[in-house]
Chains A and B, each alone.
Chain A
Amino acid sequence: MSKFFTVEIKPIIAASKQTVNFGGDGLHDVLFDWTSFQIPKGAHRLTSVAVAFRGSNGAVQTAFEFDLHFAKTVDGVAPVTMGTVNDTMTGAPILTNHIIGKSHFEVGDFGNNGWDYIGSAQTGGGAGTSNIPSLVLQGEPDSGDNVGYDTLYIGGEMAAYDDDGFDFVSTVQVATETATNTTAVVVKTTSALTTFAVGDILHDENDQVIGTIKTITDATNLVLEENCASVSAVNKDLYNINPIKITLSFER
């Protein structure tokens, strides 16, 4: 058995929280709230974190500072909320009992970030405040969803910026009101090809569930795996509710 393993996490960011950019209020914002993940039972060393971001409305996701926080249950109780997503970090004092470490990302950790439609970052150079993780993460015994696993939590923090920050705002808009008797979704304004991917779970700007993308036919036509879950009006913006994917690298 390899002494290494990875865990992939796709936190949920509600569509209605993506309609304005993060950090644009000059305050530190919750990027995403505690999201649970499973690791093999016991203590493991986090050696690296890679993060892939969807772009800003069909363009590159600009590099910004952010932090990832790690937590565990205490006596079987999950950490309380970090606060409202895309708002200040109002996590209650009891979180100090749950938090077991963090990873900080500098702008430089995005490397050249030369993507046209996405963004990517990787810990860490180790220079200045660029962080190379070496955290041993260990959950509570019996916290896992299954025998042999423990549950841990990850939450995201956006650094404070004035009028700037991660931007998942979408203007992929409903062109023809969606209908619950068809899998077809017609969009306009911004190309679906540069914004979405097969497997994305789409919600509209009011958090109405649209469905999971089966096929992206072209810039203006999507096919869902099942009939549209909701009727969404013309001009409603559509969002992928998992715009961030985190890959945690562990050594056992």
Chain B
Amino acid sequence: MGYFSVDVKPTITASTMVAHTTKDVLFDWTSFQVPKGANKLISVSATFRGINGGVQTARKFDLYFAKSIDGVAPVTMGVDNATITAAPITTNHLLGQTHFETGDWGNNGWDYIGTATTGGGAGTSNKPDLVLQGEPESGDNVGYDTLYVAGAAAGGIDFGTSVLTTGIHDVSGLSAATIASLDDGSDGDALATKKFAVGDIIHATGDVILGEILTIDSDASLTFRHDGLNGTPVDLTAWKIQNGAGAAGDLANNDELFNINPIKLTLSFER
């Protein structure tokens, strides 16, 4: 017997980041690897980026777990931040779920982030005791199986940043991979240091790719990697045209910038 943990950082489309209403897709199926065989999920911790530079308010949410069927991954949960339109075949893939109550956020006294951990076990607060087992040969490597996790918001979770461009940015004309003069949309301070972290993958409204933050130069300026590491563009030219077909990902005035991985899950397993 032993234990292990798995970190998962789901991707949420930038254009769907702002306030979720009731029973929305929080994030779609995200695959992760576990050691081959059956393992028991005994706890889940989740960290959240904040709302517009403030704490992420404690909200109810659910995580769903699924597996492939005959090598086929589960179909989509639906569009991020819209109702959960998952097709009936999803029932064949589902392995279980974990529910979070607002109380599972504890005191949640952070200024700029939010955190939750399962669970008291009382009432509807869930203490996981879920055996998850993927299909044989589903893993990315020998010795591993693939499983999937997806999230559903009960409402209110919001990853708005209020970090917005000022003026039009003709990306093809930039001399550096830097987007500066950011504000909060009303000529106020963008406070990027309270909203982003080095390593964040940033997309703008409309899902324009800006890339991985190399440095947070100030509360109003971000510089992006273009050194070819971690799959980033190999140079400035490649950074400018990363949105495809040789086109620059130009930014309009008041385009909001988002970290597309605002949630990190830490899954605790016993085997």
Which residues of A pack against B, CB within 8 Å?
Answer: 3, 27-29, 42-45, 65-67, 69, 83, 88-97, 99-104, 124, 126-138, 157-160, 251-252
Contacts and interface: CB of A to CB of B under 8 A. Distances in A.
B266 interface: yes
Contacts of B107: 28, 65-67, 104, 157-160
Interface string B76-114: 000000000000000000000000010110111111110
A28 B262 CA distance: 22
B109 A159 contact: yes
Interface string B153-197: 000000000000000000000000000000000000000011111
Contacts of A252: 2-3
Given A97-B197, A135-B117, A126 B122 contact: yes
Contacts of A132: 120-121, 127
Contacts of A102: 45, 106, 115-117
Contacts of B206: none
A134 B120 contact: no
Contacts, number: 152
A94 B198 contact: yes
Nearest to A99: B47
Given A43-B5, A126-B127, A89 B111 contact: yes
Q: Shortest 4 CB-CB distances between A and B: which pairs? A: A28-B109, A94-B197, A136-B268, A104-B106
B50 A93 contact: yes
Interface of B: 1-5, 7, 42-43, 45, 47-50, 101, 103-104, 106-113, 115-123, 125, 127-128, 193-200, 262, 264, 266, 268-270
A132 B126 CA distance: 11
A159 B112 CA distance: 16
30 contacts: A28-B107, A42-B3, A43-B3, A45-B3, A67-B109, A90-B111, A90-B112, A91-B111, A93-B49, A93-B194, A96-B197, A96-B262, A99-B47, A101-B266, A124-B120, A126-B120, A126-B127, A128-B120, A128-B125, A129-B103, A129-B125, A131-B119, A132-B120, A136-B5, A136-B43, A136-B270, A138-B4, A157-B107, A251-B3, A252-B3
A42 B234 CA distance: 36
Given A102-B106, A129-B125, 18 more contacts: A28-B108, A43-B2, A45-B3, A90-B112, A92-B193, A93-B194, A93-B196, A95-B47, A96-B48, A126-B122, A129-B101, A129-B120, A131-B106, A134-B127, A136-B42, A136-B269, A138-B5, A160-B109
B120 A91 contact: no
